[in-house]
Amino acid sequence: MANADQILSLIRNHLNNDDAQFRKVALQISAVEAKNGHAVLARTIQELLSQKKTSFSNLKIIPRNKDVDDLLLQTETYDSLNDLVTDKSVKEKLERVIKEYTRREELQKYGLANRRKLLLYGMSGTGKTMTSGVLAKELNLPFFIVRTEKIITKFMGETGQKLSRIFDFIDEVPAVYLFDEFDAIGAQRGMENEVGEQRRILNTFLQLLERDSSDSFIVAATNAIESIDKAMFRRFDDVIEYRMPDAEQRLLLLREYLYTAKNLDFSQAEPLFMGMSHAEIKMVCSDIFKESLLNDLPIDMEMVKMIVDKRNQLCREIG
């Protein structure tokens, strides 16, 4: 059963409204119970957590709006800034964004506005989407993902109309809004494969972004910063680069995701994950954890190497 430290940690996290840590400790308890042969208890804990209805969730359900209902996806957030493993410079910029928001009224007295329009760029899986959720949790705001695939259409003028409806909603409902795969909207004017409609989409977004004076956060994320039109950069309050994890970050991720590996030499395992993104490391660690749980085996270097080798082989096969 759960030990005293775990019980105290659960209570402490509940009182602090720290849903991410609460879930992490609960999953640790579930893993231990599974190893001790208490499969029903372990499965029950996991099923309860999967319901995502903890009493201190920060999700604020926004009433449905027929104008944007199919264009926005409201998502619950669990990760805090402490959960984000990234460069120190990135965290410092995010801390500045959070600080300016919490003191925005003081800034307004001097005619200053808080940073709330952010352009995030970097390779896939390095924490851009997670950052948007982190901001929503830290600022206690709803989190919406803009469904780019629903916005971009082949009909002339329709995309611009949908963007206008989204920005109207942004003005009405303070929240964090993520425009993922932003290069679909913000691609450079004059590129070889550009068509006239793409230029109109970009111009519409530039005008809407510049006119926006809401209390919402507008976050754009892209894996292809080189394709973003240069006119877009000055419309954002901050442009933040996300890099692949270094050795120190890989160690932190491994210790977090393989928390039951009591006898694993993490410093020896870390180089095996070189070149992987944060998301890839999480995926591989999940496979390692399942291998250990399903076969009732301890996590050791042999198991880690086996799972990593399988992943590398798959990557080579798909080219």
Q: What is the pLDDT of residues 77-113, one digit of tens each?
A: 888 999 999 999 999 999 999 999 999 999 999 999 9
Q: CA–CA separation, 101 vs 240, rounded Å?
A: 18
The CATH H-level (homologous superfamily) assignment of domain 72-242 is: P-loop containing nucleotide triphosphate hydrolases (3.40.50.300)
Instruction: Give residue 174's pLDDT.
Output: 94
| Residue that has been written with the tokens 């976050």 in this structure | 219
pTM: 0.78
Q: What is the pLDDT of residues 267-312, one digit of tens each?
A: 999 999 999 999 999 999 999 989 998 898 999 999 999 999 999 8
Poorest-pLDDT segment among 12-16, 158-162, 165-169: 12-16
The CATH fold of domain 246-319: Helicase, Ruva Protein; domain 3 (1.10.8)
Reported as a pLDDT band with limits 50, 70 and 90, residue 200 is confident
Instruction: Give residue 196's pLDDT.
Output: 63
Task: Return residue ranges of the chain for CATH 3.40.50.300.
Answer: 72-242
Q: Is the pLDDT of residue 125 over 80?
A: yes
Instruction: Give residue 193's pLDDT.
Output: 47
Reported as a pLDDT band with limits 50, 70 and 90, residue 315 is confident
Q: CA–CA separation, 229 vs 148, rounded Å?
A: 18
